[in-house]
Chain A
């Protein structure tokens, strides 16, 4: 570390800002490859010279061919579909419930007084803490997965919706009063838009948590789905299957996050348009 210069965005006085940004992006893209490629190379060399037995570290080529096989035989798409269905169903149920509770508590202090303490009590136990209890109550069927995923999505969405509505500045509301907004106008034009960024934050957390809960529940109590593929491969010491499934789990997590980020950009466009 020769000098401590905090990397600040460079000021492009000489070049047009746009060209500079494009150049910057290209450099970033190019620089993002050496590290993963080096890891892949070490992995390849380690497997090729059998520094570790293939049961512990299968070569990357084997993982790739297993991946293609799993896709071709339909095993991977089938399990992927099951997992996706579960996470979307659970997320939808938990998300709608969370939004409803959050709005209720955010708008009505009386409802908040009644519900908030119990909500905090339930939220205190992490989702997978409920797993053994739910397994006893509803068995290990589809209901277990949907309930657990719903719970995982429910808590952050309810909490952020509530806090978002609570945090709406009283100044906004005063302005609306001056304009003699009706209650519905006040909610739809002032309160909800103002709370939206935080509500959306909750939705993103909710989806991440739902995906986390899905993998956990599939690892522990399932006979199909991506999580089950991982456990199954592990039991047979087929790490190529495990690694292929782990890569897919990462890719789906990445895609879900990206989709929500894109929607956010559109949904909250008015925030940046002002500047």
Chain B
């Protein structure tokens, strides 16, 4: 999205105002509900209360402990799952025999909705961090393995032939020709894995309830009917997802810079 910063350094005020109209309307309604006392339901808390909760929880450190625990889990599972996925994806991409042997099974297992694994994992690995990291690895594994495989398979034939002409060794061929050509697809998989791992972190924390984390903060808030804490949790979940996405986009942009700008416009 380089075009946005090049030509759009002058912010279009009208568009920003239009974009803010709907949120402003919703916030006004939220505010008015309290100001005029239209409801006394415990479900509705004033906006100020959410802020107070944020300040209180960050002062006691609970917020940071939860966030730290969730992020540590998220990254551990993501790293483990995507590394294994990368290895398996390369193996499947390079060997047609392996692809035929393992590919169909992998494609079938992939169809099992991610969260259905949690009860099984809880029996096999308990409710602690091990189980959560195993589940997160599973979530990160599938997008990486499939995209790595597809990336390698769609390396243009001409590139391989050029490599042959230069009499590259298999290791050179892999490192200099195959992997760079497959990189966009591989990165796509890693990016998806990052999104799925965060989704799975929440799911694991809801369902494997031992320990702390943002998911536990949310569950806790719901059980005690603390709407302020639930809303705060949702904002944090969104913010973390957004930040992870931003980091991935940034790294992707840097890593794939050699491809030139032509693809960046789509």
Contacts and interface: CB of A to CB of B under 8 A. Distances in A.
Contacts of A56: 123-124
A104 interface: no
Given A32-B101, A132-B221, A242 B113 contact: no
B170 A110 contact: no
A85 to B, nearest CB: 17
A136 interface: yes
B23 A117 contact: yes
A130 B266 contact: no
A31 B97 contact: yes
Interface string B16-49: 0011111100000000000000000001000000
B165 interface: no
A215 interface: yes
A113 B18 CA distance: 6
A1 B115 contact: no
Interface in A167-202: 167
B146 interface: no
Contacts of A211: 113
Contacts of B153: 6-7
Contact of B19 (A8, A116, A133): A116
Interface string B188-227: 0000000100110011001100000000001101100101
A133 B123 contact: no
A36 interface: yes
Contacts of A237: 123
Interface stretch (B1-9, B52-60, B236-244, B247-255): B236-244
A251 B103 CA distance: 17
A32 B206 contact: no
B101 A219 contact: no
Nearest to B229: A132
A126 B123 contact: no
B114 to A, nearest CB: 6
Given A117-B23, A124-B242, A132-B230, A234 B122 contact: yes
A230 interface: yes
Given A7-B99, A219-B115, A132 B222 contact: yes
A272 interface: no
Interface in A10-46: 27-28, 31-32, 34-36, 39
Contacts of B195: 126
B72 interface: no
B97 A132 contact: no
B100 A27 contact: yes
Size bin of chain A's contact surface: 35 or more
B96 A7 contact: yes
A130 B234 contact: yes
Interface stretch (B61-69, B77-85, B104-112, B129-137): B104-112
Interface in A96-147: 110, 113-118, 121, 124-133, 135-137
A254 interface: yes
A28 B100 CA distance: 6
B105 A32 contact: yes
B112 A253 contact: yes
A8 B157 contact: yes
A35 B101 contact: yes
Interface of B: 14-15, 18-23, 43, 93-97, 99-105, 108-109, 111-120, 122-124, 152-153, 155, 157, 160, 170, 173-174, 178, 195, 198-199, 202-203, 206-207, 218-219, 221-222, 225, 227, 230-231, 233-234, 237-239, 241-242, 266
11 contacts: A1-B94, A31-B97, A113-B14, A126-B195, A126-B241, A127-B199, A129-B234, A131-B218, A133-B222, A219-B119, A242-B120
Given A113-B15, A124-B238, 8 more contacts: A3-B170, A56-B123, A114-B18, A126-B199, A127-B199, A132-B230, A216-B203, A231-B119
